[in-house]
Amino acid sequence: MSLAQTTNRSRSAWAYVADTLALILFFTTTGIINERFIAGMTWEQVFHARLIGGILMIPIGRPYGMWRDWMMSHAKENRLSQLLWDSLALMSFQVPIYAAIIAFSGASGDGLIRGVLGAAVMMIMLGRPYGAFLNWIRHLFGLPPGGEKPMSLNT
């Protein structure tokens, strides 16, 4: 194995850790707010949803990071374009997963609809802040911010 291959594997491992850590930290907090105060779930249901969400974030942290990078490669340099693409990336990837999590955790009927709609609104509003948070976490791990080239397994 060459040094370049070792470096790419090490970088991929750190990218997995960084993207997963960012997802867990950011969305555990925002998930609690949505589930308790918008969807009206009980604290027990919120705990259950966050437990499931935390477990699911481990395998999806890096795939979302790669999805976001690919989506952001379409953004122009201006803030509005970056805001729109970041929000679209987050909403299109996370809302379907989130809907399944809260349904499995006990949300139903109007509560499920409010929770999914609340999550969609939150994802639109939080897309760019989360993207900036993800880039900051990546920076702490010595990684590039992403979104600069099409999705690649080498990033």
Domain range for 47: 7-140
Distance CA 140, CA 150 (A): 22
Containing 155, the helix (H) or strand (E) segment is none
pLDDT at position 138, please?
95
**Does a structural domain hold residue 153?**
no
C-beta atoms surrounding 40 within 10 Å? 13
147 within some domain: no
Please check whether residue 155 lies inside any domain of the structure.
no
Q: What is the pLDDT of residue 19?
A: 96
Residue 1 lies inside a defined structural domain of this protein: no
Query: Is residue 13 situated within a structural domain?
Result: yes
* Cα–Cα distance list, 26 to 19, 131, 144 (Å): 11, 10, 19
Domain assignment present for 145 = no
Cα separation, 90 vs 110, whole angstroms: 23
Give the pLDDT confidence score for residue 151 in this predicted structure: 41
Q: Is residue 118 part of a domain?
A: yes
- Give pLDDT tens digits along the chain (155 positions): 444 444 667 888 999 999 999 999 998 998 898 889 887 889 999 999 899 888 988 999 999 999 999 999 999 989 999 999 999 999 999 899 888 888 888 888 888 898 899 889 988 999 999 999 999 999 999 999 875 544 444 44
User: What residues contact 121, with CB distance under 8 A and at least 6 apart?
Assistant: none
For residue 4, the model assigns a pLDDT of: 43
Structural domain contains residue 50: yes
Q: Which residue has the tokens 């802040």?
A: 129
Q: How many domains does the chain have?
A: 1
